[in-house]
Amino acid sequence: MKEIIGVLKTMIPLAAPFLYAAIGETFAQTSGVVNLGVEGIMLLSAYGAFYVALNTGNLWLALLTAVIIGLLMGLLMSFISVTLKAEQGISGIGLYMFGYGMSSLLFETTIGTVKTINGFQPAKIPLLGDLPVVGQLLFQNSIPVYGAFLLVPIAWWVLNKTTLGLKIKSVGQNPAAADSLGINVDRIRYFSVCLGAILAGLAGATLSTAVVNLFQDNLTAGQGFIAVALVYFGGWSPIGVLGGALLFSFVNSLQLWMQVLGVKISSDVAVMLPYLMTIAALMFSVNRARQPAALNKPFERGES
Amino acid sequence: MQAKKAVNSSSSVHRPVFDWSNVVLHLLLPLAGVLAALLIGALMLIILKANPVAAYEALINGAAGSVSGITQSLVKATPLLLVGLGICIAFRANVINIGGEGQIILGAIAATWFPLTFNTWPGWLLIPATLIFGFLAGAVWGFVPGILKARLHVNEILSTIMMNSIAQQFMYLLIRGPLMDPAGIAAGTFLAQSARIPQQATLPRLVPQTLLHAGAILAVVLAILVYFFLWRTTIGYRIRAVGLNPDASRYSGINVPFYQAFSMTLAGGFAGLAGAIEIMGVQHRLLDGITSGYGFTGIVAALLGGLHPLGLIPASILFGGLLVGANEMQRTVQVPSSLINAILGLIVLFVSGAALWSRRWAARRNMGVQNEEEKS
């Protein structure tokens, strides 16, 4: 019983980076742009946030740094993919390589060794936090973790109940029609990609300042790519993404606990699990009916 | 972009095959991308309080300033060329292979296990057998995402990245377990590496006292063969047709899923071969970091080489040199070589972005050709 609660308790914070990154990517993809650079944005922002937290001790400044890094990388990605209409699979990999390279470079030159910080502390919600089991699991987390879960209904509301959401969907489904109705396709796509990139930045910052409270080379180890896969798995819906994020963080948490408890399974095999699961998730989640029709297709006026 | 290119090449029936504006398009534009990325790199060097002139001088000297530098650049160009060939083939079928890292690892594992197991075979048999086995191991690692893409529409970029991580863990498992060097176990050091492969399985050196091995020649020969394969055989034609227009290919009876999976399998095979050659020609044993990031740098080389097997040869040498130079830069100016990884990322961004201009250029030229034809 204690172990089950332990697994569930680590699972909640582990889901937060997935949620930020995957919901951000949901916005980008709903507008028709696949941003495969999420991993790179996460790495560089995780570094930036950690560096600021380490040197100033101000965690809010750390989050702000991550937001700025996310925004800048989002602008770069939009410029290449929307304005210059690049092949999105390739430009995303370029953004990843850039973010990874920069984070390694800056980590080596400015921090050097793996250090830890105190990071965001659990903030117990009054009353709810005192509930047995549930309170301990859900209402004794840090603020960035709460933020990640709050993001799910907010994103759902924005995408489904607002004019902005409708515009994002329309440029992802039929950019030519949206354009003829006077919607600025490029502007909506810039907005969606940048919003997604800012959230990817928060994902990185949450990881380095609220979940593991350290930075090391390749800290994210593929979580950004898994987050992109979660968007497919979740069928481009924030609620679906929530389900996927919980599933993956559960497996991650289980794997950590198995190592702690010394279950007789090779740790190498356990570490493979999330990656194998991602492929399985992609195999069984291809709900193509819900895929934005103009996904991965740059828009050019007067074409098609 | 590719559709336009096809129209463009059909128009070359009316024009001389060699066209200077094509050279400008496919050579100068990518090189401008590299230059822009290097300039931003210089800016980063200044921010890191390093002298960019001294740093780039060290880079060039390291790569091309000595016999050892040049041969090392060629040694690093070899796996880049092989991985890049695979990426070219896959890309021509409109399948993006980001799985080079994992496929290299599989090839390396195979090329370590095979000669260690059949260590009594003579070299003339062991070397080709090991190369083929390495190719096959990588091909399997490419086949999986290929068939998943073809049959279940699984995004191949994501699946290949996951296959990379799985291969990495699989290698750790082997070099800490069944493949761990018995000498290390006996000595109690337990180094996470395999035993050395038998001497007769190593590739002969081309230049004495250097690392340059026969694999480099094999890679160039394969590049020429891949060129003929893609442009002079039916299978190659079909691969390119699938990439240019999958719908039209389907209507004309080409089995599109088969060629998608097949091109990815070939891509995996070439990366696997790169891994095998890295074991047989350079490292001689399996150890962590065997890929040196070639799976990703190979993508950059392939892009810069215009996704053309012959364009890849100079592009691989350029990036092989860049990698060697980066190490020299790290030694002399104390700038971490990861700077080069960031620069490589920028090159990918710029070159993929610059494709817009080459596309527009090609479109404009096509219109010009059409107008001329209408007049005549």
* Domain boundaries defined on chain A: 2-290
B376 pLDDT above the threshold of 70 = no
Residue B238: strand, helix, or coil: helix
Which is nearest to B305 in space by CA: B89, B157, B160?
B89
What are all long-range contacts of A48-51, with beta carbons under 8 Å and residues at least 24 apart?
A: A48/A204, A48/A205, A49/A204, A49/A205, A49/A208, A49/A209, A50/A111, A50/A117, A50/A208, A50/A209, A50/A214, A50/A215, A51/A106, A51/A110, A51/A111, A51/A215
How many angstroms separate the CA atoms of B32 and B52, rounded? 19
Q: What is the CATH T-level fold of the domain B51-334, as seen in this structure?
A: ABC transporter involved in vitamin B12 uptake, BtuC (1.10.3470)
Tokens standing for residue B318: 């350029």
Distance, CA of A77 to chain centre = 16
CB atoms within 10 A of CB B269: 27
Q: Do A105 and B339 touch (CB under 8 A)?
A: yes
The sign of the torsion formed by the CA atoms of B193, B195, B201, B207 equals positive
Residue B205 sits at φ, ψ, to 5 deg, of -80, 140
Q: What is the CATH T-level fold of the domain A2-290, as seen in this structure?
A: ABC transporter involved in vitamin B12 uptake, BtuC (1.10.3470)
Domain boundaries, given as residue ranges, for chain B: 51-334
- Residue predicted with more confidence, A185 or A261: A185
The whole-number average pLDDT for the span B265-274 is 98
Provide the residue count of chain A.
Answer: 304
A303 pLDDT above the threshold of 60 = no
Put simply, whether A113 touches B (Cβ < 8 Å) is no
Q: Do A97 and B355 touch (CB under 8 A)?
A: no
Residue A140: strand, helix, or coil: strand
Name the pTM for this structure. Answer: 0.91
CB interface of B with A, residues 297-356, below 8 Å: 299-300, 303, 335-336, 338-349, 352-356
Q: pLDDT tens digit string along B72-88?
A: 999 999 999 999 999 99
Which is nearest to A108 in space by CA: B330, B328, B56?
B330
CB atoms within 10 A of CB A257: 18
Nearest CA in chain B to A277: B162
Which amino acid, A56?
T
B71 pLDDT above the threshold of 50 = yes
Helix, strand, coil percent values for chain B (each to nearest 5): 75, 0, 20
A304 pLDDT above the threshold of 70 = no
How many angstroms separate the CA atoms of A238 and A236, rounded? 7
Which is nearest to A196 in space by CA: A162, A170, A159?
A159
Put simply, whether A147 touches B (Cβ < 8 Å) is no
Residue B4: per-residue pLDDT? 41
Q: Which of A292-296, B130-134, B202-206, B253-257 has the highest mean pLDDT?
A: B130-134
CA distance B36 to chain A (A): 14
The whole-number average pLDDT for the span A210-239 is 93
How many angstroms separate the CA atoms of A89 and A33, rounded? 10
- Residue with token string 């002399």: B332
Put simply, whether B176 touches A (Cβ < 8 Å) is yes
Nearest CA in chain A to B41: A102
Provide the residue count of chain B.
Answer: 376
Residues of B in contact with A232 (CB under 8 A): 155, 158
Residue B30: per-residue pLDDT? 83
- Residue predicted with more confidence, B288 or A262: B288
Helix, strand, coil percent values for chain A (each to nearest 5): 75, 0, 25
- Residue with token string 């082997």: B174
B11 pLDDT above the threshold of 70 = no
Residue B290: strand, helix, or coil: coil
Distances (CA, A) of A206 to A66, A118, A209: 9, 13, 5
Q: Which of A6-10, A215-219, B189-193 has the highest mean pLDDT?
A: A215-219
Strand partners, B180: B194
B123 pLDDT above the threshold of 50 = yes
B249's CB contacts (< 8 A; 6+ apart) are B238, B241, B242, B256, B259
Q: Do A225 and B158 touch (CB under 8 A)?
A: yes
Concatenated DSSP letters of A76-96:
HHHIIIIIS---HHHHHHHHH
ipTM of the complex: 0.91
Residue A290: per-residue pLDDT? 76
Nearest CA in chain B to A279: B159
Q: What distance separates the 2 farthest-apart alpha carbons in chain A? A: 63
Residue B5: per-residue pLDDT? 41
Q: pLDDT tens digit string along A70-117?
A: 999 999 999 999 999 898 889 999 999 999 999 999 999 999 899 999
Which is nearest to A71 in space by CA: A202, A187, A186, A171?
A202
- Residue with token string 């209409």: A85
Burial group, residue A210, by CB count within 10 angstroms (0-12, 13-18, 19+): buried
How many angstroms separate the CA atoms of B245 and B232, rounded? 19
Strand partners, A140: A124
Q: Do A101 and B347 touch (CB under 8 A)?
A: no
The sign of the torsion formed by the CA atoms of A57, A61, A64, A69 equals negative
With beta carbons less than 8 A apart as the criterion, state whether B136 and B269 touch. Answer: yes
Mean pLDDT of chain B: 88
Q: Do B162 and A84 touch (CB under 8 A)?
A: no
Q: Do A101 and B343 touch (CB under 8 A)?
A: yes
CA distance A85 to chain B (A): 7
The 10 Å CB-count burial string (b at 16+, else e) for A9-23 is bbbbbbbbbbbbbbb
Residue A288: per-residue pLDDT? 63
CA distance B231 to chain A (A): 23
A32's CB contacts (< 8 A; 6+ apart) are A171, A172, A173, A175, A189, A292, A294, A295, A296, A297, A299
CA dihedral angle for residue B336, residue A44, residue B315, residue B292, rounded to 10 degrees: 60
Which is nearest to B90 in space by CA: B174, B156, B34?
B156
Q: Do B48 and A85 touch (CB under 8 A)?
A: no
